[in-house]
Structure 1
Amino acid sequence: KQSLGQNFLSDEALARRIAQELFDGSETGARVVELGPGQGALTRPLLSLFPQMAAFEIDQRMVELLHREFPDLTVTHADLLELDFAELAAEYGGSLSIVSNTPFYLTSQLLYKLLCAAEHIDCVVLTVQSEVAQKLLSPHGCKEYGILSVMVQLFGQPEFLFDIPPTAFQPQPKCTVAVLRLRPTTTPAVSGATPLSAAQRSQLLALLKVAFEQRRKMLRQTLKPLLSSGSTSAPPPEWLTLRPEQLSPTQFVELAATIFGDGASGGGDTLLAATHSAPGWKPYKSGWDAS
């Protein structure tokens, strides 16, 4: 039976390949965490490579099944979106290597959460819908390019590994699935960049939220409340004639620094909440929430 929207991987060869990709991509090979193991198809080859791994699963039925199948595996009943990766890394003694065949409806929220915890994560290998992978990897100027594209390209170092056909899952999804590897970082993929504080990343995400809410409008229009309410300096005039999908991830980093300044004092949510009048706008809880 399908568990909470999850498509279970049923191809053993592909499960071994995913496990090997994590092994090849993890610098230490230690502190491996599987999120949403389901029936354990991926867990089995992972355990052969990482005997000390741990798993977190929200479906109690699957937790009980995993306990029976893998008596030596530490399985915790938990909501993936409620996990504190900083606490886990401290408990396990270092940065985590994470692998997941996550339910597709959780993909965006999980990606934001992983990026938020970049300081505590070494490597991530996960499955996503191919259309989502295309969006994450799309360059600016493409219609698929959006907030998640910018954030993952700046702070995730995404790498496409391979595709998985629908026939490799039970039940079969109505799409091809892609396997990606990420290396979360606090230093944006910009030449000469230095790490951004949590406050600066919050400001950047809040700026993207405003810019892409009305993606067909020029930035001159969508950013007008910000530019008239305390920004430190004016962005290049030619940028303001562009739509958000025409601005590169690097330019968004520069734009955020222009509007909010280079300091780490925060204030992105406060300023945007005070100046942005779009219906339904509310500050992010942490600056990184996907909601």
Structure 2
Amino acid sequence: MEQNNGTKVTEFILLGFAGQHKSWHVLFIVFLVIYVLTLVGNIGMILLTKIESSLHTPMYFFLQNLAFVDLCYTSAITPKMLQNFVVTEQSISFVGCIVQLLVYGAFATSDCFILAAMAVDRYVAICNPLRYPTVMSQRVCIQLVVGSYFMGFLNASVNTSFIFSLNFCTSNKINHFFCDEPPIVALSCSNIYFSVTLLAAFVGFNLMFTVGVVIFSYIFILAAILKISSAAGKKKAFSTCASHLTVVTIFYGMLSYMYLHHSTIESQSKKKWLLCFMVL
């Protein structure tokens, strides 16, 4: 990878939250506290679902993997972001940037597919309760989770390999707090049309497929709930889906805005803050 002066790019500079230098100590403390709480919450969820036998159900199995995924992509980004608040040279090595993007992309995509699998789980539990133990067997749950990880790493591997095959000759300063695809592509002096199209295609497919699974699952769930005669039964059915539906709405809404929305200088700053609180 060559810069315009002919030297090889061996590192990138993460600009982070430009203009926030005066309040860096406040941001460091806030993000550190949130990160610690995220670690404690996700690790606690994983241990609890492992130890407590009554939680050895498909729903909590998916929650356990969702907590693991969140833990992985948060830890791929946040420690480096916190380090850059307290060091003068906010750099990341070329290889480190590849690894960070690969891990974040893989687990963020896996998150999408696990959320879709959880929607299918809720559909079977509410619409076919008598067949639930058979349909959502341990084998099926494992296959859904393994498939989610496979799709995540396939997506991240293809995108990362294409992005880092580009030539970087404009600058090595990434306008972000971590190595994300759009700001890295913006540094390239190669023809980025294919890489941008590939990114949009993969993100679009993953979003449309997983959102489609969620939407169709909840259409059938809503139809089944409306057929329940008792108000208490409807409330109980809704309560089992409310938290999942809230997470899905926020997560997919942010992803769509960040990766499918046309960026302006003003929106890039907003996207950084949104993504910051998403990964934390």
* TM-score using structure 2 length: 0.31
Question: Which has the larger share of helix?
Answer: 2
* TM-score using structure 1 length: 0.30
Question: Which has the larger share of strand?
Answer: 1
